[in-house]
Structure 1
Amino acid sequence: MQIIKVAAIIVTWNKLKDVCLLIEDTNKLDLNGICLDIFVVDNASSDGTQAYLEEHYPQVKVLQTGENIGGSGGFSHGMKFLIQLNYDYIWLLDNDVRLDTQALLALVETLQNYSEVGLVGSQIRKLEQPEIIQEIGSYIHEQKAHLKTYLGNSPIVSTEDILAEKPYLSVDICAAASLLFRREIIQQIGVFENYFLHFDDVEWCLRAKQAGWVVAAHPASIVWHRSPDFKHRPWISYYDERNLCYCWQKHKPELLLKRLRLLLAKLIYYSLTGRFFWTEIYLQGLEDFLKGVKGKMPSLLPYREYSLAEIITPDANILVQSSIYQDICQFTDLQIDEKTTLWYLPKNLLYRVYIWVISWFLKPVDLAILSCYRPEIYQFHLAKKVYCFTGAGYVQVNLSLMNVLLNSLQLFYRLLNIYWQMSIVVSNSAGAR
C-alpha cells in the first residue's frame, strides 16, 4: 500500500491553547494510509509556545521565525522549509480551526484522483455556530469588486446536494484556514506575497489558476473556524483594503477603481456617524498601497483605545448598548464599579422621543458605550461622552456638527486624491498587460 506523505503547516503567535487543541484534533484524524507530520511556525510568541510544544508534543516540529511576520510570512517560512523535504502534499491550517475526523482524507483523495487539481480546500463552518456554513471556497464578485463566498452563512447542506454528482467544486479561491496543495506548486509559482495577513491566500490561489491549476473545494472535508463576525477588529480593515488593492492590481486591475467607488458610501457613513477613526484605517491602507508598503502596518493605529478604568468615573450614569456582547464573543465581562449607575432607555416610544428632544439641551447620560460595528445611532445624542467598543478597547468619538463636517470634508479630499493616483496605477497596470 502506497503511503502518502503530508506535512501540515500551522502558523501561530501567542495562541498556545488553540494550537494544542488543533494538534489534538490531528491525532484523531482518519488517515487511512496517510503519513502526517505537523510543523508549527512560531512567530516569536511570548506565551511559551515553542517550549511547551517541544516538551508536550515532541512529534511536532517547531520552526521559529524570531519575529512576528504575520500569517503570510509564517506560511511562506514553512513552505520554504518544506520544499526541501520529500512530501507529496502540504496542508495549510489556521491555528484556531477544529477538524472533523475526515477533514484530511477527502482533500487527499481529491488530489490523488484528479491530476488537474492543484489545490483543494475544505468546507468551513462557524465555530460559534457549528450548524452554519462560513464558506466552501469563494469566487471573484465583479459587481462588488470583492469576493463572494459559496454558501456563506447558509445552514448545513449535505455533501451530495452540494456536489450534485460533481467530483469537487471548482472555485476561484480557497481560504488557507484549511488548504491542501501539491508540493510542486511552490516550485512553480513561489510562496505567499508579503501581505502580513489577509488576501495572501486569495492572491496565491489566483496565481495558481493563472498557472493552469484547478482550485477546488470539497465539502466532505469539514473544519470549524472562528467567524470573522466574532474576531474582526477595525485595524484589520487596513490589511483588507491594502492587500485587496495589491491583489486586484496583479490579477484584476479593472476592479481597483470600482472597489474605490463602492467604498465611498461606506466611509461617508462611518464619518457621519462619528466613526472617523475607522475611515482613517481604510484611508491609511489605500494610501500605503499607493506608496508600495507591504508587510506589517508600519505605523501605530491612528486612534487611541482606552480601558474601562480610564473612561468610567464613580457615580456616572452609563448607557451600554445591549448587543455589545453579541458583537464580540471574547468580551463577556463589563466590570462596573458598584457606585456606577447603568442608564436604560425607556421602553415607551413617546417617552423615548421626549428624552431625545430634551437631550438637545440637557444630556441624561454621562457616558454611552456603543458597538463599533452596529451602533444604535439614536443613543449617540443622549450622552455627554460617547465611546465605541472595538473588541479590544474604547475609542472616543466626537459628534459635534463642526467635527463631523470637517472630518467628512477631509475624507472626501483624501479619497479624491487616492482616486486620481489609483487611476494612474490602473492605466500603468493595463499597459503592462
Structure 2
Amino acid sequence: MPLARRLNLADAVAIGLGSMIGAGVFAVWSPALGVAGSGILIALAIAAVVAFCNATSSAQLAAVHPVAGGTYAYARAEIGPWSGFIAGWCFVIGKIASCAAMAMTFAAYAVPEQWRTPVAVLAVAALVTVNCFGVTRTALLTRILVVISLIGLAVVVTAGFTAAPTASPTPLPDATAYGVLQGAGLLFFAFAGYARIATMGEEVTDPARTIPRAIVLALSGAVVVYVLIAVAVTLTLGADAIGSAHPIADVVTAAGWTGLEPVVRVAAAAASLGALLALLTGIGRTTLAMARESDLPRFLAHIDARWQVPRRAEIAIGLIVIGIVLVADLRGAIGFSSFGVLLYYLIANAAAFRQTGEVRRYPRFLQVVGALGCLLLVNTLPLVASLIGTGVVLLGVGYRMLRLRVARGTEHPHRRSR
C-alpha cells in the first residue's frame, strides 16, 4: 500500500525547519564552541557550505525518485543495493541518536535536572503516538512548534545584540585548524534536517517541484537563524557558553532580560519537540523503505490501513530512542549522529554525481565538494563517536551479509526440487 500524498510546499518547509532549528540552535553550541573556540563562525560557514552541496544532491535525487526512504532509495536506484543499504543504515542509526539528543535537549530546557530523564522518555512516547495518527497531524504540529521557536529566538537575538555594546564576555579559546573542522562536523548535525523532506517523498504533492524548493528554502532559513544566534552567543557569553546545558537561555540572562527567560525556555522546548517529531517521522519512512526491500525485518513494512503511516516502524524506533535516552549523554549523541549522517550524505553525493542528462539540476562540482567535505568532517569528529559509529555500521553490514546468505541457502533447495 503506498503512502498518501498530503504535504504541500509549506508543510515540507516547516518539517525541514522544524528538524534544523531545534537540532542546531538549542543543542550544538556548547560542544561546538568547546572545540572551535574563536573560529566558531568559520566552522559554521564550512558546515553550511557542505550542507548546501548535500542539499542540492538530495534535491536533484528526490525530484527523480519521489518515494519514501531518501538516499536509501536513491542510492539503490543510481548505484546499487549495497550502497543503498549503507546509506539507509547510516541514516537510521545517526538520526536515532539525533532523536535522543533532541529529547534530552527538550528536558534540559523544560524541567529541573532531576526530572530530565523521565521527561525526555515521556516526550518520545508522546510524539511517537502523534506520528501514529497521520502525517498531516505531524505537519500541523511541526508548523506550530516552528513558529513558537522563532518567536523565542527573536527574543534571544534582540537581547544579545542589545547587550553586546556593554557586555564583557569571557574570551573564547584560540582557534586551531583541527578544532574548527571538528566544530564544523558537530555543527553539521544542526543542518541535517532538510533530509526529512527528502525521506517523505512519497507523501509530498508534486514532489519533482516541491521537494527541491522546500529543501533550499528550509536550509536558507536555517543558515540565517544560525548566524544571528552564533553572533548573539559569542558577544554576550563567550567561553561561558562552553559546558552550559542551556546556552540560549543564558544569553537572555546575561543581557539582563531575566523576565523573558521563561519565554526562551518554552521556545527551546518547542523547538526540540519540533525537531524530535520531524526526525521520528523521517526515520520511520526510511525504515519502511528498507523493510520493503527486506534490508530490515519485513514486519516493519506494514502500513496502518486507517491512518496510512508505518506504525510498527514508528513504535520500534521510539523504543530504541527511549533506550538511548536512558543510558547516553547529549555530547555523545551529537557526535554519533554526525558520524552517521555525514556518511549518509557522502553516498547521496555519489549517487547524484552519477545522474546524467535532463535530470541534472546542479553542476557536478557541487557533488564533489559535498563528498570531499563529508569525508573531511567525518574524520575530525571525536574519536569515541567515530569508533562506536564504525562498529555499528559494520554490525549492519554483517546483518545484511547474513540475511543474503540465508536467502541464498533457502533458494538452492527450492531450485534443486524442480
Higher strand proportion: 1
TM bucket normalised to smaller: under 0.3
* Structure with greater helix percent: 2
Q: Normalized against structure 1, the TM-score is what?
A: 0.23
Q: TM-score, normalised by structure 2?
A: 0.23
- Choose between structure 1 and 2 for higher RCO, CA contacts under 8 A separated by at least 6 residues: 2
